[in-house]
């Protein structure tokens, strides 16, 4: 981005308005844990209240749909054409940042305001969406609102349990949704979906580029592994007589790490796997661990790579525990989403609009999951990445510059106007 563009660009987006909303939302975080607004929490609802007010001020007809998504809608001059959607998510990971997700929601809001400022009424209906629970939630599922809107939230998922044994069904109700009205088929009126998101990696920053045009969004498979041992006195149980579940779990964690490195090194596509959650029972220093639950987050650019990893989980991983004298008592697939492809034609449009605005760009894969992955299965979908500082994300250091967000928003604005004219 040229210095001249940084100073006085004539993009549609009002940079200061965007930035003020982002920083105000960043203040809505659990006390002492920057920046945390977990889905289904009271703090999340505070963020929803802020967005609702701003949506209404922008003249959007604002409501929560049956899936728990917050939607701001502008009827088009020719509603029969269907709906164009700009969305992302306002929930965060624990100790997350101020940009992941919420930058995309605020960008959509800013596009709506910029259209109003310019006196532009689209032919299509326009919906700005804050998708419920994009991040992996305490109910064992991510992208909950988007799955619902696109007919991919299976009925049995509503019985998933969260804190205090609350069902996902009740949690969605608490967010203003109507779980009994959730359909097993997608909305039919969505004719295109755009999502601005920080890259959450350092490819754009390293290459000195302004915009990432996303091609593939990795498939994500999350697996819960339970390792069973025997609780015993840590002092009186000799090493060769104990059944220490954690000793088995650490071998599994190391085995998963090594298998992921082996697959990634093949150069046949992007692959990563993380053991991000470990629960030890009874979790006391003087008790031999009886049970360990691991949650694995694995991501692959192709299904072939994911199948290779799943074969390792099924055929090799249990032996790592038995070698330590304990056993894997359960392997549960929490979610299994295929990789998804953004729409070529719409992505070409994003690239053309970036060029037209004098912004540099490249096509790239997303190692992060996004709401766009679910929309891509039901409507033409494109993602606009903007750089983030040092590629950091899912941490308080997450940062992107005001003009970087404004540039991405301008690309979304111009792309939307072209989509509407088609």
List residues near Mn ion by CB under 5 A: 100-101
Q: Within 24-43, which residues bind ligand HGY (CB under 6 A)?
A: none
Binding of ligand HGY by 416 (CB under 6 A): no
- The residues with which 87 forms a beta bridge, in sequence order, are 129
Question: What is the closest distance, in whole angstroms, from the C-beta atom of residue 316 to ligand HGY in the complex?
Answer: 25
Sheet strand arrangement including 271-281? 271-281, 291-300, 219-228, 327-337
> Nearer to ligand HGY by C-beta: 82 or 201?
201
3-state DSSP assignment of residue 36: coil
Q: What is the secondary structure of 211-254 as a DSSP string?
A: EEEEEEE-EEEEEEEEEE---EETTTS-GGG---HHHHHHHHHH
Print the binding letters for residues 130-159 with ligand HGY: x by CB under 6 A, - otherwise. Answer: ----xx------x-----------------
Question: What is the closest distance, in whole angstroms, from the C-beta atom of residue 39 to ligand HGY in the complex?
Answer: 11
> Nearer to Mn ion by C-beta: 65 or 100?
100
Q: Would you say 200 and 391 are in contact if contact means Cβ atoms under 8 Å apart?
A: yes
Alpha carbon distance 155, 158 (integer Å): 6
Alpha carbon distance 344, 380 (integer Å): 9
Q: What is the secondary structure of 306-344 as a DSSP string?
A: HHHHHHHHHHTHHHHHHTTT-EEEEEEEEEEE--EE--H
Alpha carbon distance 384, 149 (integer Å): 21
Q: Would you say 386 and 400 are in contact if contact means Cβ atoms under 8 Å apart?
A: yes
In the list ligand HGY, Mn ion, none, the entry touching 369 (Cβ below 5 to 8 angstroms by class) is ligand HGY
Print the binding letters for residues 83-122 with ligand HGY: x by CB under 6 A, - otherwise. Answer: -----------------x----------------------
Question: What is the closest distance, in whole angstroms, from the C-beta atom of residue 335 to ligand HGY in the complex?
Answer: 11
> Nearer to ligand HGY by C-beta: 54 or 299?
299
> Nearer to ligand HGY by C-beta: 5 or 274?
274
Nearest-Å Rg of the Cα atoms of the chain is: 23
In the list Mn ion, ligand HGY, none, the entry touching 146 (Cβ below 5 to 8 angstroms by class) is none
> Nearer to ligand HGY by C-beta: 375 or 413?
375
How many residues touch ligand HGY under the rule CB under 6 A: the total is 6
DSSP at 76? -
Question: What is the closest distance, in whole angstroms, from the C-beta atom of residue 200 to ligand HGY in the complex?
Answer: 7
What residue number has its CB nearest to ligand HGY?
368
CA 316 distance to own-chain centroid: 30
> Nearer to Mn ion by C-beta: 100 or 403?
100
In the list ligand HGY, Mn ion, none, the entry touching 105 (Cβ below 5 to 8 angstroms by class) is none
Assign 3-class secondary structure to 93-111.
CCCCCCCCCHHHHHHHHHH
Print the binding letters for residues 332-371 with ligand HGY: x by CB under 6 A, - otherwise. Answer: ------------------------------------xx--
> Nearer to Mn ion by C-beta: 187 or 197?
197
Q: Which residues lie near ligand HGY (CB under 6 A)?
A: 100, 134-135, 142, 368-369
């Amino acid at each position: 981005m040229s210095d001249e563009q940084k100073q006085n660009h004539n993009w549609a987006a009002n940079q200061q308005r965007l930035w003020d909303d982002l920083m105000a939302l960043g203040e809505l975080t659990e006390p002492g844990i920057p920046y945390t607004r977990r889905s289904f929490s009271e703090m999340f609802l505070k963020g929803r209240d802020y967005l609702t007010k701003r949506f209404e001020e922008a003249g959007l007809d604002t409501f929560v749909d049956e899936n728990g998504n917050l939607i701001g809608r502008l009827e088009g001059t020719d509603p029969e054409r269907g709906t164009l959607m700009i969305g992302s998510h306002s929930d965060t990971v624990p100790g997350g940042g101020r940009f992941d997700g919420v930058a995309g929601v605020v960008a959509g809001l800013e596009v709506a305001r910029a259209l109003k400022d310019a006196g532009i009424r689209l032919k299509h209906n326009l919906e700005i969406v804050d998708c419920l629970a994009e991040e992996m939630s305490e109910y064992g599922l991510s992208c909950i609102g988007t799955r619902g809107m696109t007919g991919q939230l299976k009925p049995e998922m509503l019985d998933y349990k969260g804190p205090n044994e609350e069902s996902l069904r009740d949690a969605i109700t608490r967010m203003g949704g109507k779980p009994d009205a959730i359909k097993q088929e997608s909305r039919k009126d969505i004719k295109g979906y755009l999502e601005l998101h920080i890259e959450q990696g350092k490819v754009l920053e390293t290459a000195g580029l302004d915009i990432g045009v996303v091609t593939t969004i990795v498939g994500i498979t999350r697996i819960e592994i339970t390792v069973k041992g025997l609780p015993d006195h840590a002092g009186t149980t000799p090493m060769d007589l104990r059944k220490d579940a954690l000793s088995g779990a650490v071998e599994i964690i190391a085995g998963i790490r090594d298998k992921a490195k082996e697959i990634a090194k093949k150069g046949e596509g992007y692959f990563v796997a993380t053991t991000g959650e470990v629960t030890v029972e009874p979790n006391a220093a003087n008790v031999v661990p009886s049970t360990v639950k691991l949650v694995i987050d694995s991501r692959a650019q192709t299904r072939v790579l994911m199948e290779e990893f799943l074969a390792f989980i099924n055929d090799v991983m249990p032996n790592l525990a038995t070698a330590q004298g304990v056993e894997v008592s359960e392997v549960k697939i929490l979610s299994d989403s295929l990789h998804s492809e953004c729409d070529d034609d719409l992505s070409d449009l994003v690239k053309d609009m970036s060029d037209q605005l004098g912004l540099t760009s490249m096509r790239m894969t997303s190692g992060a999951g996004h709401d766009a992955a679910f929309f891509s299965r039901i409507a033409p979908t494109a993602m606009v990445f903007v750089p983030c500082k040092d590629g950091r994300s899912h941490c308080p250091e997450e940062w992107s510059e005001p003009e970087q967000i404004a540039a991405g928003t301008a690309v979304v604005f111009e792309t939307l106007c072209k989509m509407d004219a088609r």
